[in-house]
Amino acid sequence: MGENLRLARLRRQLSAEQVAERAGISRSTLHLMENGSAGTSVGKLLQVLVVLGLEADLSRLAADDVLGRKLEDARLAETRRRAPKRKSKP
């Protein structure tokens, strides 16, 4: 993901200093992000994505979750067809 951020920045012909300043983060934080450091926050990542015009890409994260959908389908097939009856209040 970090490499993709770096390439997006370079395609837009923006320096690391420009992106960091516009995102409100330090240049060293941007450098860590572009090198794939797991220590950066999602909020800072979103700030960089906004600067690059890629904030809509965040909504696609895990959108095509094939394994998750298969697991969900398997659980649904195992569950009861009818919800349990509610207990009435005394």
For 12-25, the pLDDT digits (tens) are 999 999 999 999 99
Q: Residue 82: pLDDT above 70?
A: no
Statement: residue 62 has pLDDT above 70: no
Per-residue model confidence (pLDDT) at position 24: 96
pLDDT classification of 5: cutoffs 50, 70, 90: very high
Phi, psi for residue 48 in degrees, rounded to 5: -70, -40
Among the listed residues 36, 29, 72, 63, the one whose alpha carbon sits nearest the alpha carbon of residue 19: 29
For the chain, the domains span 2-76
Is residue 40 pLDDT above 90, yes or no?
A: no
What is the model's pLDDT at position 61? Answer: 73
User: Does domain 2-76 match CATH 1.10.260.40?
Assistant: yes
pLDDT of 90 reads 65
Percentage above 90 pLDDT, the chain: 48
Q: How far is CA 1 from the centre of its chain?
A: 10
